[in-house]
Structure 1
């Protein structure tokens, strides 16, 4: 599905309930000492090698934030955990009937610096977009020898705005 070039999506605060369709929010909740996560190393063949690295983002986004490129990892979940308490934007879209992202259902969330995200395998998402830079994230996923990334440049961008944005 193609996006209307004037389409805007208002970002909402990241919550486990709001994000559940796309993955898990990495944060602790409740009284238990530990909260076990089910998705961080979930994968399908041929992904098999666990990998972890640190990514650095040197530039903060500007509002409105255009979504022009989405990516997904069909064989692996992918987890991002902020290392320096930097808030960031999470933009996700489910598959449409044709397997491309359904941009009419694109959602955007603002993650506080104490929340990580774990995308389910195959979820279309925007690359790291931080609200304060520089920022560093621990990234974990499993890798496949024959590639693990799909990128899609959008024919028309969707602009993401924060709550209350007017321009």
Structure 2
């Protein structure tokens, strides 16, 4: 069996795949000092043939250990996942279909922005409801490529 153990999601560990979206680090106060603005946390990239759109995803919760054999990528645009609840979710990414995937576990207060063209697993919330706001490319040209592994990977509990 091919196994992965998820690492905590950090900006440094995830940098090759995308951006970690969280309210930490540098910020400025707005709204009469009552709100921290953590400015410009994700590089959105929608190519030349699309626009940004916000969709709502409601995904079935998964459990660890979690087995998967499918990864996908979006060659025409980045994709940001913003949880609408305070629950951790599992993030699976790979440099290519031939590379060993990596698994990350969010802390319940983080979202992610996958860079354009990054191979990744499907949305995998670990608690119900799996409710997410997703910012991605809306366009008329194809923007999904899928790869199935010949043998599944299993993500173990940390």
| TM-score bracket relative to the smaller structure | 0.7 to 0.9
Give the equivalent residue in structure 1 for 2:99: 103
Number of the residue aligned with 1:42: 45
TM-score by length of 2: 0.88
**Comparing 13-22 with 151-160, which one deviates more in the overlay?**
151-160
1:152 aligns with 147
Where does the alignment leave 5 or more consecutive residues of structure 2 unmatched? 29-36
Shift of 1:49: 2.0
Structure 1's consecutive aligned runs of 4 or more residues displaced over 3 angstroms after TM superposition are none
Task: Give the structure with the larger strand fraction.
Answer: 2
| Residue in 2 that maps onto 1:90 | 91
Counterpart Cα distance in 2 of 1:110 and 1:77: 20
Q: Structure 1 pair 103/64, CA: closer, same or farther in 2 (3 Å)?
A: farther
Measured after TM superposition, the shift of residue 66 of structure 1 is 1.1
- Three-state SS of the structure 2 residue aligned to 1:103 is coil
Q: CA deviation at 1:19?
A: 0.4
Cα distance, 1:22 vs. partner?
0.2
- What are the ranges of 5 or more consecutive residues in structure 1 without an aligned counterpart? 1-5, 96-100
- Paired with 1:65 and 1:146, the residues of 2 have a C-alpha distance of 32
Q: Distance in 2 between matches of 1:61 and 1:26?
A: 22
1:23-62 maps to which residues of 2 (within 5 A)? 23-33=18-28, 34-35=37-38, 36-39=40-43, 41-46=44-49, 48-58=50-60, 60-62=61-63
8 Å contact from structure 1 (residues 12, 162) kept in 2: no
Q: Under a length normalisation based on structure 1, what TM-score does the superposition of the two structures give?
A: 0.83
Partner of 2:33: none
- Please state if 1:137 is matched with 2:140: no
